[in-house]
Amino acid sequence: MRRNYLKDAVRVYNVLKRGGIAIVYMRNAYAIMSGTDSALLKVYTAKKRSLNRPSGLVANARTHEKLHILSREKKNIIKKFSKKYNLPISIIAPYKKKHPMISKFSNFSKSLATKNNTVNLLLNSGPLREHIADLSLNDNFPLIASSANLSQRGTKYKVADIEDRVKNCADIIINYGPCEFFKEGKTIDYDGLSLSSTQIDFRDMSIVRKGVCFMEIYNIFKDEFDINLSLKL
């Protein structure tokens, strides 16, 4: 399937800026994105997702560098991990509250994009999301994303598997076929649900969620950086 990442990123971004909703391919799963309060509420309604469950900000390495408040040592670890291994990983960390992008949030959107003074940024999820994140950051127009599926029903690696209720709320769908990390019968958790991204809280280096490539990520942090990731209770 032919892919034009930059062209498709511009198409998606233009839809989002107009208040629309997009479903897009990522390496680890399909995601659903929005950029306005009304679109975000529509996404949550379609997904049957509780408003007590926050989502992530559409991001890349530039977004992380500009928004996250972490020591230079921890930022260098993330940079080296991303450059050498390029595995999808969600970084949870405090953020710069006065950054122009954050200041664009309404109270409603901010309540669903942040939690306990942290923001969740998924990195290394592929060129399409990278380009969309660049457009977002250049305009300081924040975009919120979560997995394109009914809440608590497992992420989807193929557009055909996304529930109609979720697909039907999208104004644009970028279908690049099965996600890179999809492996039949292997990308599931102990409950039989499809895995999403691995989430790590960098405040205390704890595991918030085990996702795709979890054991690889865990071993890299242990062997390469001498960090034993702990399981957040």
Residue 136, domain CATH: 3.90.870.10
The pLDDT tens digits of the residues spanning 90-117 come to 999 999 999 999 999 999 999 999 999 9
- Phi, psi of 199, rounded to the nearest 5 degrees: -110, 130
Q: Domain residues for 66?
A: 5-231
The pLDDT tens digits of the residues spanning 154-179 come to 899 999 999 999 999 999 999 999 99
SS3 per residue for 94-129: EECCCCHHHHCCCHHHHHHHEECCEEEEEECCCHHH
Q: Give the range among 72-86, 96-110, 136-150, 178-192 with minimum mean pLDDT.
A: 178-192
Confidence of residue 1 (pLDDT cuts 50, 70, 90): low
Q: How many domains does the chain have?
A: 1
**What are the tokens at 59?**
């991001």
Contacts of 209 (CB under 8 A, 6+ apart): 90, 196, 197, 198, 199
User: If 0-12 CB within 10 Å is exposed, 13-18 middle and 19+ buried, where does residue 149 land?
Assistant: buried
- Rounded to an integer, the average pLDDT of 15-24 is 98
Task: Give residue 193's pLDDT.
Answer: 53
Model-wide pTM > 0.75? yes
C-alpha–C-alpha distance, residues 211 and 187, integer Å: 8
Count of CB atoms situated within 10 Å of the CB of 34: 29
Inter-residue contact 10 to 132 (CB < 8 Å): no
Inter-residue contact 110 to 102 (CB < 8 Å): yes
Task: Give residue 185's pLDDT.
Answer: 47
Would the pLDDT of 191 be above 60?
no
Would the pLDDT of 120 be above 90?
yes
Kindly report the average pLDDT of the chain as a whole number: 93
